[in-house]
Amino acid sequence: MTDISSHSQLSALIRHRRSIKPVDMDATRDVERALLTQVLEDATWAPTHGLTEPWKFVVHQGVGRARLAEAMQQIYRETTPANEFREDKMKKMGENPLLASVVIAGVMERRGGVKIPEIEEIEAVACALQNLMLSATAAGLGCYWSTPPLLGTKQFAEWLQIGVEDRCVGLIYLGWPRAGLNWPRSVRQPVESKTRWCDE
């Protein structure tokens, strides 16, 4: 049975979570391996149809962040049509991984075969990434979920060394918020405006 105070704490945590961009993180502070492992463990307690646990986490730290930044810039150059290419976007792809202490590629590994639709496996990984971000927020970390189009390219999949049926669902940037950061505030539309009750 759920304790009311625990439910209140969870609700407060969910409402407290915000997207903290890499520029607002302190890249000089490492995230300890034990904490990262705990956050990843929490992620794995997401719902999963058939218990396929389709998530895989590719964790980039240290020099691995620079390799990721270089790969993203190269793939962006190779796969972006000339009329859509933006120098500022490419520049940011080279900078952002170095501004966060950790960048985690959240991957959907196809394990359910034809029995479980791909969308359900992607949804399971999305739930896992939400768990990850809530756990990181509870630990005091900032987190940011990024989904640049290049994540869906064959080139990026090959660089990540994932299968042809697998999908990178997003990059999660993690790091300690920089000193003096004012935690962002946000609002949501009233739930009544998004709900239709079917009880009569």
Res 113: pLDDT: 76
**Residue whose pair of structure tokens reads 């900078």 in the numeric block:** 95
Let me know if residue 5 belongs to a domain.
no
> Looking at residue 150, which CATH number applies to its domain?
3.40.109.10
Strands in 167-175's sheet, in edge-to-edge order, are 55-60, 102-108, 167-175, 142-146
Let me know if residue 199 belongs to a domain.
no
CB 60 within 8 A of CB 104: yes
Question: DSSP for 151-187?
Answer: GGSHHHHHHHT--TT-EEEEEEEEEPBPTT-------
Res 115: pLDDT: 85
Res 111: pLDDT: 80
Res 90: pLDDT: 95
Number of H helices, E strands in the chain: 6, 4
Query: Any idea what the Cα angle at residue 157 is, between residues 160 and 96, rounded to 5°?
Result: 60
Res 4: pLDDT: 59
Return the DSSP state at 30: P
Return the DSSP state at 80: S
Q: Which run of H or E residues covers position 107?
A: strand 102-108
Let me know if residue 193 belongs to a domain.
no
Let me know if residue 69 belongs to a domain.
yes
- Total count of domains within the chain: 1
Let me know if residue 191 belongs to a domain.
no
Residues of the chain falling short of pLDDT 50: none
